[in-house]
Amino acid sequence: DELVSYQTNPDYARAEARRQDMLDLGNRLTVNFTDFQTRLESEFDILMAQAEELESSTETTTSE
């Protein structure tokens, strides 16, 4: 129904407002994904450090 009303009587102000809303949402999502990526990279770094410590302690124990 909404699509038909666009075709018969286009509302350019409404279309521009919807476009701006979509743009704003895209910008917010970009920030959210960037924050998520940063958090995952930080957690991955911690896990890698723990894995290296575990590997190092295992090598030390094995060589004794």
20-37 pLDDT per residue, tens: 999 999 999 999 999 999
- Give the pLDDT score at 29: 96
Report how far residue 8's alpha carbon sits from residue 6's, in angstroms, rounded to the nearest whole number: 6
Report CA-CA distances (Å) from 15 to 4, 21, 37, 43, 59. Answer: 14, 10, 33, 42, 65
Give the model's confidence band at 8: pLDDT under 50 very low, under 70 low, under 90 confident, else very high.
Answer: confident
- Give the pLDDT score at 59: 81
With tokens 């940063």, the residue in question is 38
| pTM listed for this prediction | 0.57
